[in-house]
Structure 1
Amino acid sequence: MRNKNSAFGVKDYMLRYARDLADSGRYADWRAIEAPLQERYGEEQSDRFLNDASIRGELDQRCQFAAHAGNTRHPIRH
């Protein structure tokens, strides 16, 4: 079982949280998601997580899909 405090466990939690933010429709792209991630997981850990181009690309796609799907109950943050 993955532990929230293990390195792999934290990445899983971060990915789940980042996907939830992207799917909310409130964020324009991965850069807008960066601040809430840093607030929750710290700047260093968030920077390492977002250093992965595939994660950034997935988050950008999710943000765009959510915005076009009409999930924007709140203004999009840049």
Structure 2
Amino acid sequence: MRGVTIVERFLKEGGSMFIVAINQEKCTGCDSCAEGCPAHILGFDGTHAYVSGDEAECLGCESCTSVCPSGAVTITEL
């Protein structure tokens, strides 16, 4: 019998979890998403944004998606 993962336990207990993705082909490198993320899980390497932190910390607030001018950032709720 396999063990229950932290994600499975979290979801079973009624929590939400989000997956943040950044389409590098659409990213214009404006850094708005990383600047606007209150959970500080997005970074900027000088050219493109990337997920730099633990996605489990994502609040699902969509601050990053709302400020992205190119639509490169998406959030999916599990």
TMscore range, shorter length: under 0.3
Q: What TM-score comes out, normalization by structure 2 length?
A: 0.26
More strand by share: 2
More helix by share: 1
Instruction: Answer with 1 or 2: which has the greater Rg.
Output: 2
